[in-house]
Chain A
Amino acid sequence: MAYQLLKFALGGEYKEPRFFRDCQTPKKSYDAIIIGGGGHGLAAAYYLAKDHGITNVAVLERGYIGGGNTGRNTAIVRSNYLTPDGVNFYDASVKLFQGLSTELDINLFYTNRGHFTLAHSESAMRTMRWRAEVNKHVGVKSEVVGTDEISKACPQLDISCSGKSPILGALYHEPGSIARHDAVAWGYARAADSMGVEIFQNTEVQSIDVKNDQVQGVQTNRGYIATGKVLSAVAGFTPRITKMVNLKTPIVIQPLQACVTEPMKPWLDTILVSGSLHVYVSQSSRGELVMGSALDPYEVHHTKSTFDFVEGLTSHIADMFPFLSNVKVVRQWAGMADVTPDFAPLMGITPIKGFYLDAGWGTWGFKATPISGKTMAHTLAHDKAHDLIHSFRLSRFDEYELTGEKGAASVGH
């Protein structure tokens, strides 16, 4: 060990091993092409190779991997949703997350913190009871707790919220966790690359070639690439891609913002969410408070941050934690959220043969990264939607069979 270290130090060349090959020239054709090198696209590539032996795959990313919503979220992982189908799906994701650091051999800083969704009104308490019952029925640990338990987990919280909107209780979800989001993208990228998947950064899909309702290939800034299967995993860019194949969806793009404070000594162990105050907050392993709020109020396809957002968010945080009033916000940013009317994702096959969608992730898709990758890989390999994602199909809107998750997803993430 000491010898190795000495040799390394005197060697004079400190090249970090690359996570994945620096691919520049795509082949003429691939068995499958994945548009978008976010967590979802990279996870789908990994499970295509690992579960289905399909390795002749290219991931095309217009910027750098993880630079989309994957690297912009507040990294909350939970499964306390409202519909049984949603709970089952997100629970499968949480289970994959729990073993993922080992599987991908990278430290994802996955930390189990527990997750409180605070209720400030009787009607919010009713939704919490409903969610708790659905969760327990499906076998997910969630329960309604009173203010004593909340204060025990977080004595710093002002239960009266400065007298403005007293907390009545909460939905407590023991498996709630946070993870290091960039590492999720890097881990999947490295593992997929090691099995033969090629990852192209700075590579933008400009159009999709469809003949007789069957995908033929994609045009990129690195030339034309033939393929019979294209997976669109582009989150906030989804309407631009679906327009290329003349597919209409109910997705609306709205910015979602987040910010962090200066680092502090660790004091906040749990994840706290308040739908009424439009706030969610946790403390990162670096000591910063990571905070987010509701969507910006209307459609815009950009990632500008606004002063309105920090002003609104920090005033609510100060109601919950008056002692934070002198703490500084040091960074804020935004991502483009691909929101659906029922707050459930949009996944699976489409009317165009060989064109698959993994979208509608809005404000809630980071936690679904592993399971969406796994189920989309299955869907591509078998040309048939995986059972777990049946309720998330695009055609549910034709059939008026929406999967109402708003009560569990609108602010909670």
Chain B
Amino acid sequence: MKLLNCPMNGLRPLGEFIYGGEYREMPNPNNSSDLEWASYVHYRDNAPGVKKEWWFHSPSGTWFIAERNTLSDEVLNTYLFGKAPFPKNENLSDGKLGDEKNTELSA
């Protein structure tokens, strides 16, 4: 069984969690153009790599951030939003982490 570390409740079975998608910086809704807003709502860089993501621990109602490699499915860190160093996106999602060949072998 896969486990995920909830910052409030510790290691819990993955089945207790809901994936909330990649974390993205929200533009100011008052002065962003329709196109900027559409791009925030819809578009993302979904190439494999280490991503910051929203996750939800359902039994305790906790939303938090996980840094996860979407190629190897390894979680590097989990923390409450705003409670840990929150480096800029560029440093994290260079899309090159992990060994691409692994995906071939497991096919």
Contacts and interface: CB of A to CB of B under 8 A. Distances in A.
Nearest to B38: A398
A250 B43 contact: yes
B30 interface: no
Grouping DSSP codes into helix (H, G, I), strand (E, B) and loop, the B interface class, with mixed when no group exceeds half, is: mixed
Contacts of A308: 15
B103 A248 contact: no
Contact of A239 (B19, B45, B103): B45
Nearest to B98: A301
Given A248-B39, A398-B35, A398-B38, A301 B44 contact: no
A67 B45 CA distance: 25
Nearest to A246: B45
Contacts of A302: 71-73, 102-103, 106
Interface string B64-107: 00000011110000000000000000000001000000111011
B43 A249 contact: yes
Interface string A289-319: 0000000011111111000100000000000
What is the interface of chain A mostly: helix, strand, loop, or mixed?
loop
Contacts of A303: 103, 106-107
Contacts of B70: 253, 299-301
Interface in B2-54: 15, 18-19, 21-22, 34-35, 38-39, 41-48, 51, 53
A251 B39 CA distance: 13
A155 B43 CA distance: 47
A63 interface: yes
Contacts of B104: 63
Interface residues of B, number: 29
Q: How large is the interface on A (under 10, 10 to 19, 20 to 34, 35 or more residues)?
A: 20 to 34
A239 B47 contact: yes
Interface in A213-261: 239-240, 242-243, 248-253
Contacts of B19: 297-299
Q: Which has the most chain A C-beta neighbours within 10 Å: B19, B42, B95?
A: B42
A400 interface: yes
Contact of B47 (A63, A240, A341, A400): A240
A267 interface: no
A323 interface: no
A19 interface: no
Interface of B: 15, 18-19, 21-22, 34-35, 38-39, 41-48, 51, 53, 70-73, 95, 102-104, 106-107
28 contacts: A239-B46, A242-B47, A243-B45, A248-B39, A249-B43, A249-B46, A250-B42, A250-B43, A253-B70, A297-B18, A299-B46, A299-B53, A299-B70, A300-B70, A301-B48, A301-B71, A302-B71, A302-B72, A302-B106, A303-B107, A333-B107, A397-B42, A397-B43, A398-B34, A398-B35, A398-B38, A398-B39, A399-B38
